[in-house]
Each structure stands twice: as structure tokens, then as C-alpha cells.
Amino acid sequence: MTAASPALLDLTLPELTEWMVGLGFPKFRAGQVYTWLMKGKRPGEMNNVPLALREALAQNAHVGGVTICETLESPKDGTRKYLYELEDGNILEGVLLRYHHGNTLCVSTQVGCRMGCAFCASTGDGLIRNLTPGEILGQVIAVNADLGGGRSITNLVLMGSGEPLDNYDNTLKFIRLASCGDGLGISQRNISLSTCGLVERIDQLAQEGLHITLCISLHSALDEKRRQIMPIARKWTVAQTVNAARAYAQATGRRVIFEYALTNGINDTCQDADALATALKGLPSHVNVIPLNAADGSTLSASEHVEAFLKMLEDRGVSATRRRTLGEDIEGACGQLRRRRLQERAEKIPE
Ligand code: SF4
């Protein structure tokens, strides 16, 4: 740890300890500070540490997380959408999904995204910047605090704005921070990372010794069609993408999840089901089929043939289910809430 004025949430407990010892404080104080940080507390609120330490933290470091600036809750299913503000004023959104097996938080790894998927609201302005590990962790800490201060979040999906593998080092550090017993202690088996298919990074991820679930946004097993909706498909073919998934499954012993947003006239025919079944043959995998929830202004629309497509997959021996959609009544696809907030901000700026 070399930063002169570190973001505290970017640090592991050993890194925080080293930094605080360098400032002249005893080691055991780092454990106290770390416990407060994991509860979303600022230095001024750490009331079992000496005033001198609180002042030193405030003067020599910043927390580096997020602040919740808006919450919307679905009266239908309890899904909550959050708008967060970062220390530099950037805006992010997150979604809390409530399942019978626990609370799942969808976290973002970048502000914006440069991957350019045709249906996605996060990509409109391109990539603004990568999030630091502490800013990703800060989303979990903020929502835990909002839910009453315990460790209410049991599952994480890295499926908010941004391509996690395009912010590789920070994403990996976040996973280690979130799953570490010193901190939030979220089991890696309860963490899913969703990628649009950065093949070289999937290969790298397979060698990290993690136990997380890999989800790949495939959306079509036909190269020509996939290229129409996902620019990444111009770099990596379906075969290369699925081969990387096979290597991941082999290295980790974990099945791979494929996301498939069913889109009218694009990927919902027999030919598409055939291609998917052929591509995934022999691979321990599962397909999540969901009707497309396109961003405002997209020319793409949801297919009405979800059940029929699932039947086609079943007939071809592909493990697939319809993914439950939650929170539809409180703003649709990822990134839409943020776009609305940015528009409101722009409207307030006088010409
Ligand atoms: S779907 Fe994911 S990878 Fe594609 S543009 Fe949106 S955030 Fe980026």
C-alpha cells in the first residue's frame, strides 16, 4: 500500500494495519477501525477509538465508498433500487433482490461501460471510469447499513453497470475483500460474475483459485446474430467464448451460467435453439432465459416466445429456466434509473 492518502475501503485488514502502524498507532486499533468501516461508519462515528486516531484517519485518508442518494422499493415484490453517489459526484445504481434463500445485491464495477451492447442503458455514454475495489465494496456496505446494520446481503451478482472483467484487478480485489472473513465474509460460492465474454480474461479468471460462479451473456449462439447486438462478438466467436467457459468449468469444477435475453426476431427461433444446444453440448452449464428488458430508445424488443423457446431447449437436452424478473414496477433495465437522474441534473444546469 503506497498511496499517501488512501481510500480506507480499498484496503485489506493487513494493509490497513500496516498503514496505521506507520502513523504510529498500535496494531489492534486497525481491527476496531476495520469493523466500523464494514458497518458503513465514518471516522467521526468510530466511538471506541481515541479521538487522536479518528482525527488522523480524517486528515490522512478518505473512506472511498458510496452514499445512497435515492431508494425505490417495489410494493409488489420488495425489490429495492438504489442510486448511489460516489465521492467525485458520479452516480451509480444498484438493485437488491429478495429471494427466499437470502438477499442478493447486484453491484456495479464501472461508471458506464465501453462494451456497447445494443440493449443496454449503461453503455450510452461509454466508459466514464473504473470503480475502485472500495467503491464496489461500498455498495454492499451501504445497503447492509440501509437494511439495519448487520450482514443482510448474502449473495452478490456483479451484473450492474460495467464489464467486471474490463476492470479486472479492482474486481478481483473486491471479490477477495467481500469474501474475506475479516470483512463481510460473503461466501465466494454466493458470488456470480457476469461478463459479456472477454475470453482472455475468462482464461485468467479460471486460474485465480476462486469459487465464484461465472455467468456469460451469450444472447445468441450464432456469430452473425451475436455480432448484431454485442460488439464483443466481433472479437471473439461463440466457439472461443464457449471454449473459455469449458476451461473455466474444468479448472473450478463449477457449472457456467449463460444469460440469454430473448429478443423478438433475433434469437428466439428453432435455429437459435439448435445452435445453442450444439454450442453447449457436454459443458456443465445452465441457461437463464429472460425476455429482453431493453433500454429506452433501443430498437430491440422482448420476445413473447419464452415458454416455447424453453421447451425447444428442453427437447434438445439443454438445462434452462426462465429467470424471475423482479422490480419491473420500479424502473426497468439496468442503468435506466441512473440515466433519469443524470437527465434531471442536466435539466437543472442553467444554459
Ligand atoms: S450489458 Fe454489460 S457489458 Fe454490455 S454494455 Fe451493458 S454493462 Fe456493458
pLDDT in tens, 312-325: 999 999 999 998 76
What is the position in ligand 1's atom list of the atom closest to the CA of 163?
Answer: 3
User: Among 276, 294, 275, which residue's Cα sits nearest to residue 285?
Assistant: 276
> What is the SS3 assignment for 286?
strand
Asked if 270 is an active-site residue, the reply is: no
| Segment 183-224, tens digit of pLDDT | 999 999 999 999 999 999 999 999 999 999 999 999 999 999
Looking at CATH, the fold of the domain delimited by 8-60 is given as: DNA polymerase; domain 1 (1.10.150)
The per-residue pLDDT of the chain, averaged, comes to: 92
Residue 308 CB contacts under 8 Å (≥ 6 apart), including other chains: 268
Ligand 1 centre and the CA of 316: distance in Å?
29
Residues 334/120, Cβ–Cβ less than 8 Å:
yes
Q: How many beta carbons lie within 10 A of that of residue 43, not counting itself?
A: 21
Report d(CA 209, CA 252) in Å as an integer.
7
| Range of lowest pLDDT (217-226, 238-247, 300-309, 334-343) | 334-343
For residue 181, give the DSSP letter: T
pLDDT of 65 over the 60 cut: yes
Ligand 1 centre and the CA of 239: distance in Å?
20
Report d(CA 327, CA 118) in Å as an integer.
22
Ligand 1 centre and the CA of 55: distance in Å?
41
- Binding site membership of 295 for ligand 1 (Cβ less than 6 Å): no
Catalytic residue among 73, 85, 93, 307: 93
Report d(CA 65, CA 231) in Å as an integer.
31
Looking at CATH, the fold of the domain delimited by 66-348 is given as: TIM Barrel (3.20.20)
Question: How far is residue 115 from each of residues 29, 56, 228, 231, 290, measured CA to CA in Å?
Answer: 43, 41, 13, 7, 20
| Segment 130-156, tens digit of pLDDT | 999 999 999 999 999 999 877 799 999
Report the chain's C-alpha Rg in angstroms: 21
- Binding site membership of 117 for ligand 1 (Cβ less than 6 Å): yes
Report d(CA 253, CA 11) in Å as an integer.
30
Q: Output the pLDDT for position 301.
A: 87
What is the position in ligand 1's atom list of the atom closest to the CA of 162?
Answer: 7
Going by pLDDT thresholds of 50, 70 and 90, the confidence category of residue 121 is: confident
User: Among 132, 134, 131, which residue's Cα sits nearest to residue 9?
Assistant: 134
Q: In this structure, what are the phi and psi dihedrals at residue 60, rounded to the nearest 5 degrees?
A: -110, 0
Mean pLDDT of 284-305: 87
29, containing H or E segment: helix 27-38
Ligand 1 centre and the CA of 317: distance in Å?
29
Asked if 120 is an active-site residue, the reply is: no
**Side-chain half-sphere CA neighbours of 190 within 13 A:** 18
Q: Output the pLDDT for position 122.
A: 80
Contacts of 80-85 with CB under 8 Å at 24 or more apart are 80/143, 80/327, 81/327, 81/330, 81/331, 81/337, 82/139, 82/142, 82/143, 82/146, 83/337, 83/338, 83/341, 84/138, 84/139, 84/142
Q: Output the pLDDT for position 3.
A: 46
pLDDT of 100 over the 90 cut: no
| Segment 252-264, tens digit of pLDDT | 999 999 999 999 9
| Range of lowest pLDDT (7-16, 23-32, 46-55, 117-126) | 117-126
- Binding site membership of 123 for ligand 1 (Cβ less than 6 Å): yes
Q: Output the pLDDT for position 347.
A: 65
- Binding site membership of 280 for ligand 1 (Cβ less than 6 Å): no
- Residue type, position 241, single letter: T
Contacts of 296-300 with CB under 8 Å at 24 or more apart are 296/121, 296/336, 296/339, 298/118, 298/119, 299/118, 300/118, 300/119, 300/229, 300/263, 300/264, 300/266
- Binding site membership of 120 for ligand 1 (Cβ less than 6 Å): yes
Q: Is the dihedral of CA 211, 163, 94, 242 positive or negative?
A: negative
- Higher pLDDT residue, 62 or 327? 62
Burial of 171 (0-12, 13-18, 19+ CB in 10 A): buried
Mean pLDDT of 148-169: 93
Q: Output the pLDDT for position 336.
A: 65
User: Among 173, 162, 160, 65, which residue's Cα sits nearest to residue 111?
Assistant: 162
Take residue 247 and report the three cell numbers written for it. 476451461
Return the top range by mean pLDDT from 6-15, 113-122, 286-295, 338-347: 6-15
What is the position in ligand 1's atom list of the atom closest to the CA of 217?
Answer: 1
Do the first three CATH levels of 8-60 and 66-348 match, i.e. the same topology?
no
pTM over 0.85: yes
Q: Output the pLDDT for position 338.
A: 67
- Binding site membership of 113 for ligand 1 (Cβ less than 6 Å): yes
* Rounded percentage of the chain residues whose pLDDT exceeds 70: 91
- Binding site membership of 162 for ligand 1 (Cβ less than 6 Å): yes
Domain spans in the chain, listed from the N-terminal domain onward: 8-60, 66-348
Mean pLDDT of 54-75: 95
Q: Output the pLDDT for position 331.
A: 59
In angstroms, how far is CA 251 from the centroid of its own chain? Answer: 22
Ligand 1 centre and the CA of 110: distance in Å?
10
| Range of lowest pLDDT (124-128, 163-167, 313-317) | 124-128
| Segment 220-244, tens digit of pLDDT | 999 999 999 999 999 999 999 999 9
